[in-house]
Amino acid sequence: MMITIKRLEGSLEDCVEFKVESFKQADKMINIMSRTAPKEGYDKTRFEVVYNEDCSYEGRLDLSKRYLEEENILQSQMLYVLDNALKVEKDEGQKEEIVELIKKTKETK
């Protein structure tokens, strides 16, 4: 698995891109990036999770101070979107397959 996280808003020094190999590593990077997030509001941050050549997920995270110590950030965001926004667009079988893939990705790194 490869996860790319790119901050789109903030100071020039803060708008960087990271590549990590696990959700746990992604959480750590987001925790660090949150240190310079706005006190009120958020900075747009794009991410992509590539499970393999046939399965990937792209999304946006609103980076804020609330992520300073949180865990399972991207997984929670992905499950939220799948459970709410994509109900109409995805057939139930495809949705269940993706949800299971997200949930069973346990961290060992």
Segment 51-103, tens digit of pLDDT: 988 889 999 999 999 999 999 999 999 988 877 765 655 566 666 777 777 77
Q: Count CA within 13 A, CB hemisphere, residue 40.
A: 0
Q: Does 108 score more than 50 pLDDT?
A: no
How many domains does the chain divide into? 1
Does 82 map to a domain? Answer: yes
Does 109 map to a domain? Answer: no
**pTM exceeding 0.85:** no
Distances (CA, A) of 100 to 38, 62, 68, 107: 34, 24, 27, 15
pLDDT at position 85? 61
Does 85 map to a domain? Answer: yes
User: How far apart are alpha carbons 38 and 55 in whole angstroms?
Assistant: 33
